[in-house]
């Protein structure tokens, strides 16, 4: 296997590009893809201060590294979700990563600061864990970004994530979600700009990037994810990709270029468009007296903690 660029020994093949790359040219490809995505979708400008949502997994640590490499002032925010040993180990991975590089990392622990954790909130509110988790993360990232004066929140969603979400939304024609599935969401009153600079890089490329950059990410998966629909969609798409390389990319970028626009009217109005108020507790935009996050905290705080077994929540 030879590098497409320099003909030196290649370490990775990317079938979607029908090409192989050596270490240096693969790392360059990753940086170029991120630079291109940032420019194409107007995600960031030179000198922007970016808050990176880091989980300890490959995508978010690679994203933080890439944004720094590209010269952005990027700081990390880690949220301790209280998902048993998985959270303990991911927290350690993030802290070690930040410390080694001397990059600023903010840590918010749900149990310490709000007296709940994701498994308990999921049980008490009868939400699936990823829903309670996503709600908590979105709220806290938004708030931290606004409080800290950041220009944008960046998340590590990669091409496989976006293609899988699109696949799920399309299977059920969830037009209101299709309307919002963009790689950049502009800032609105009370919400920071949100960007996904890794949308043109696949999951396998992000793991490879970490290995080649010596990034010690947590390979272990969140136990809450086991068997969820999202994973099933990814597997299905990878089957298709194996037979027809480039399918995931064509599916997602074709949607952005030729279909997304048609769903725009299906987007529900945000709180400020519908002229509604602010959460009485935290000041976030909200249609109710309490925003969804404060409502979740209100119900979950102090509830008897769910104990995780190796099989997941009990």
Q: What is the chain's Cα-based Rg?
A: 20
Q: Say if residues 34 and 202 touch (Cβ distance below 8 Å).
A: no
Q: Find the angle CA(135)-CA(138)-CA(142) to the nearest 5 degrees.
A: 140
Q: Say if residues 33 and 201 touch (Cβ distance below 8 Å).
A: yes
| CA atoms of 201 and 158, how far apart (whole Å) | 6
- Choose between 48 and 237: whose C-beta lies nearer to another protein: 237
224 in contact with ligand SF4 (CB under 6 A): yes
- Tell me which stretch binds another protein (CB under 8 A): 68-76, 86-94, 99-107, 215-223: 215-223
Choice from 33, 55, 120, 125 touching another protein (CB under 8 A): 55
- Choose between 72 and 116: whose C-beta lies nearer to ligand SF4: 116
Choice from 6, 242, 250, 276 touching another protein (CB under 8 A): 242
Shortest CB 278 distance to Zn ion, Å: 8
222 in contact with ligand SF4 (CB under 6 A): yes
Q: Nearest 5°: phi and psi at 289?
A: -60, -45
3 in contact with Zn ion (CB under 5 A): yes
Choice from 13, 281, 301, 313 touching Zn ion (CB under 5 A): 281
Contacts 24+ apart (CB under 8 A), 260-269: 260/178, 260/179, 260/181, 260/182, 263/175, 263/178, 263/179, 264/179, 265/179, 266/175, 266/176, 266/178, 266/179, 267/176, 267/179, 267/180, 268/176
Binding to another protein by CB under 8 A, coded x per residue (else -) over 5-34, reads ----xxxxx-x----x--x-----------
- Tell me which stretch binds ligand SF4 (CB under 6 A): 101-109, 188-196, 222-230, 302-310: 222-230
- Binding to ligand SF4 (CB under 6 A) within 58-117 occurs at 81
25 in contact with Zn ion (CB under 5 A): yes
- Choose between 48 and 63: whose C-beta lies nearer to another protein: 63
- Choose between 174 and 228: whose C-beta lies nearer to another protein: 228
Q: Give residues with Cβ within 8 angstroms of 273, minimum separation 6.
A: none
Listed residue (39, 252, 44) closest to 161, CA to CA: 252
Q: What is the dihedral of CA 208, 210, 216, 219, to 10 degrees?
A: -50
The one of another protein, Zn ion, ligand SF4, none whose footprint includes residue 229, by CB under 5 to 8 A per kind, is another protein
| CA atoms of 144 and 113, how far apart (whole Å) | 14
225 in contact with ligand SF4 (CB under 6 A): yes
Q: Give residues with Cβ within 8 angstroms of 57, minimum separation 6.
A: 90, 156, 217, 218
| CA atoms of 284 and 302, how far apart (whole Å) | 23
| CA atoms of 134 and 157, how far apart (whole Å) | 13
The one of ligand SF4, Zn ion, another protein, none whose footprint includes residue 118, by CB under 5 to 8 A per kind, is ligand SF4
| CA atoms of 35 and 304, how far apart (whole Å) | 46
146 in contact with ligand SF4 (CB under 6 A): no
Interface residue list for another protein (CB under 8 A): 1, 9-13, 15, 20, 23, 55, 57-59, 130-131, 133-134, 137-138, 160-161, 165, 202-204, 206-208, 211-212, 214, 219, 221-222, 225-226, 228-231, 234-235, 238-239, 241-242
Chain residues binding ligand SF4 by CB under 6 A are 81, 118, 129-130, 133-134, 222, 224-225
């Amino acid at each position: 296997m030879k590098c497409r660029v320099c003909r030196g020994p290649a370490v990775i093949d990317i079938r979607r590009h029908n090409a192989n790359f050596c270490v240096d040219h693969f790392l360059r490809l990753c940086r170029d893809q991120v630079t291109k995505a940032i420019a194409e979708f107007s995600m960031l400008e030179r000198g922007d201060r970016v808050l990176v949502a880091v989980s300890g997994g490959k995508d978010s640590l690679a994203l933080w590294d890439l944004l720094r490499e590209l010269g952005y002032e990027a700081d990390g925010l880690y949220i301790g979700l209280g998902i048993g040993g998985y959270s303990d180990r991911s927290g350690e991975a993030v802290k070690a990563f930040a410390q080694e590089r001397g990059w600023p990392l903010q840590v918010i622990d749900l149990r310490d600061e709000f007296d709940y954790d994701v498994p308990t909130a999921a049980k008490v509110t009868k939400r699936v864990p990823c829903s309670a988790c996503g709600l908590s993360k979105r709220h806290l990232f938004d708030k931290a970004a606004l409080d800290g004066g950041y220009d944008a929140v960046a998340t590590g969603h990669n091409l496989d994530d976006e293609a899988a979400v699109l696949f799920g939304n399309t299977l059920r024609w969830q037009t209101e979600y299709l309307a919002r599935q963009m790689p950049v969401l502009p800032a609105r009153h009370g919400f920071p700009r949100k960007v996904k600079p890794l949308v043109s890089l696949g999951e396998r490329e992000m793991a490879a990037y970490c290995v080649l950059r010596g990034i010690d990410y947590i390979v272990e998966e969140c136990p809450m994810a086991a068997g969820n629909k999202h994973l099933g969609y990814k597997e299905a798409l990878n089957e298709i990709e194996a037979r027809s390389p480039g399918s995931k990319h064509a599916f997602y970028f074709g949607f952005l270029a030729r279909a997304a626009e048609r769903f725009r009217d299906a987007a529900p109005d945000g709180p400020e468009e519908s002229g509604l108020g602010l959460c009485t507790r935290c000041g976030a935009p909200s249609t109710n007296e309490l925003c969804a996050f404060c409502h979740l905290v209100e119900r979950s705080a102090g509830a008897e903690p769910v104990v995780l077994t190796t099989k997941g929540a009990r």
